[in-house]
């Protein structure tokens, strides 16, 4: 079992403190939903875990199995087992989904480093990547399993994709990269009901006993399909309440107004 542990995490962006003492423990096999109003810092938490250079950690730590991530670059954190699914995935014209995934998988699984250690020349195209035949076989299997059209492999990454197509592609990325922990930043954003069901089905297939999920969302609706073990309320840069799925139902019924009334004047504690 692996453990992702966030300890008293504080982070700033442009001298404004956004995270104000976040504490959270996520274990393999758990789905932890993080809910809160706009501007509460949920996406900032996701970016800080993934190693976005725009944010500065001023206090606290993030650990996987006892090893700190703070001194790691974003690619090193990916190799350590962290995956971030963006709320608004960026289009990359000119880079096909297949080429992107082959490069990413090769880096995460050590093919690239092994090639460097063996002295393979990068001038030989593909010599530092996962063998094409092996990659294609696995990609085709994953695309079929996760209901992704085979034509996506040839399309440029997220270029001209609908919201649902972008989110399906991110589920495919998760399936190929096999992270220990997946942070999903509002994966239900912009999805119609059919796309939401397909994406949720992919998440459920990936929610195995050796993988943990931090599912960031505003709404209950994705939690009708992806059942969380824990639900936390995030407000003004910290977690103010944690419980089971009943917390999400309470927010659906009452909204977020009561959260501000109850916790706005509460002092921030580490």
Query: Helix or strand or coil: residue 52?
Result: coil
Tokens of 252: 């659906």
pLDDT mean over 20-31 = 97
Q: What span, in angstroms and rounded, lies between the C-alpha atoms of 133 and 152?
A: 18
Which residue did the predictor score with more confidence, 37 or 114? 37
Query: Helix or strand or coil: residue 195?
Result: helix
Average pLDDT value for the chain: 91
Q: How far is CA 239 from CA 34, 41, 108, 160, in A?
A: 9, 10, 31, 36
Model confidence over 213-238: pLDDT tens digits?
A: 999 998 888 999 999 999 999 999 99
Q: Specify the length of the chain in residues.
A: 270
Q: What span, in angstroms and rounded, lies between the C-alpha atoms of 252 and 169?
A: 29
Tokens of 217: 């969302």
Q: For position 125, what pLDDT does the model report?
A: 56
Q: How far is CA 206 from CA 25, 120, 125, 175, in A?
A: 20, 34, 32, 7
pLDDT confidence of 71, banded at 50, 70, 90? Answer: very high
pLDDT confidence of 250, banded at 50, 70, 90? Answer: very high
Model confidence over 93-120: pLDDT tens digits?
A: 999 999 999 999 999 998 877 766 666 6
pLDDT confidence of 240, banded at 50, 70, 90? Answer: very high
Q: Is the pLDDT of residue 123 over 70?
A: no
Q: For position 270, what pLDDT does the model report?
A: 37
Give which of 65, 31, 72, 6 is closest to 244, Cα–Cα: 31
pLDDT mean over 164-171 = 92
- Token match 């699914």: residue? 85
**Homologous superfamily of the 3-89+165-263 domain (CATH):** P-loop containing nucleotide triphosphate hydrolases (3.40.50.300)
End-to-end Cα separation, the chain, in angstroms = 27
Tokens of 65: 């199995």
* 221 contacts 189 by C-beta, under 8 angstroms: no
Q: How do the domains of the chain map onto residue ranges? A: 3-89+165-263, 95-160
Q: What span, in angstroms and rounded, lies between the C-alpha atoms of 111 and 104?
A: 10
Orientation of helix 163-177 relative to helix 97-108, angle to 10°: 30
Q: What span, in angstroms and rounded, lies between the C-alpha atoms of 57 and 45?
A: 10
Q: Is the pLDDT of residue 140 over 50?
A: yes
pLDDT confidence of 269, banded at 50, 70, 90? Answer: very low
Please state the separation of Cα 235 from the chain's center in Å: 20
Model confidence over 185-218: pLDDT tens digits?
A: 988 887 889 889 988 999 999 999 999 999 999 8
pLDDT mean over 1-8 = 97
Q: How far is CA 130 from CA 15, 69, 137, 142, in A?
A: 42, 26, 11, 16
Tokens of 105: 């998988």
């Amino acid at each position: 079992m692996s453990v992702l542990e966030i300890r008293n995490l504080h982070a700033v962006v442009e001298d404004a403190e956004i995270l104000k003492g976040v504490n959270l423990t996520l274990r393999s096999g758990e789905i932890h939903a993080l809910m809160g109003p706009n501007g509460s810092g949920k996406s900032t938490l996701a970016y800080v875990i993934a190693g976005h250079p725009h944010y500065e950690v001023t206090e606290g730590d993030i650990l996987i199995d006892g090893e700190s991530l703070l001194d790691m670059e974003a690619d090193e954190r990916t190799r350590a087992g962290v995956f971030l699914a963006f709320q608004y995935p960026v289009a990359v014209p000119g880079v096909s989904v297949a080429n992107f995934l082959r490069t990413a998988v090769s880096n995460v699984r050590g093919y690239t480093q092994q090639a460097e250690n063996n002295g393979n020349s990068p001038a030989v195209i593909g010599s530092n990547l996962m063998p094409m035949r092996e990659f294609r076989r696995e990609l085709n299997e994953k695309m079929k399993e996760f209901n992704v059209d085979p034509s996506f492999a040839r399309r440029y990454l997220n270029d001209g994709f609908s919201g649902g197509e972008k989110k399906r592609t991110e589920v495919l990325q998760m399936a190929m990269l096999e992270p220990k922990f997946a942070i999903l930043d509002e994966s239900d954003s912009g999805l119609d009901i059919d796309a939401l069901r397909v994406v949720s089905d992919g998440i459920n297939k990936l929610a195995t006993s050796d993988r943990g999920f931090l599912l960031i969302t505003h709404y209950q609706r994705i939690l009708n399909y992806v059942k969380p073990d824990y639900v936390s309320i995030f407000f003004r840069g910290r977690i103010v309440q944690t419980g089971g799925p009943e917390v999400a139902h309470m927010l659906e019924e009452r909204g977020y107004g009561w959260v501000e009334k109850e916790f706005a004047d509460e002092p921030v504690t580490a």
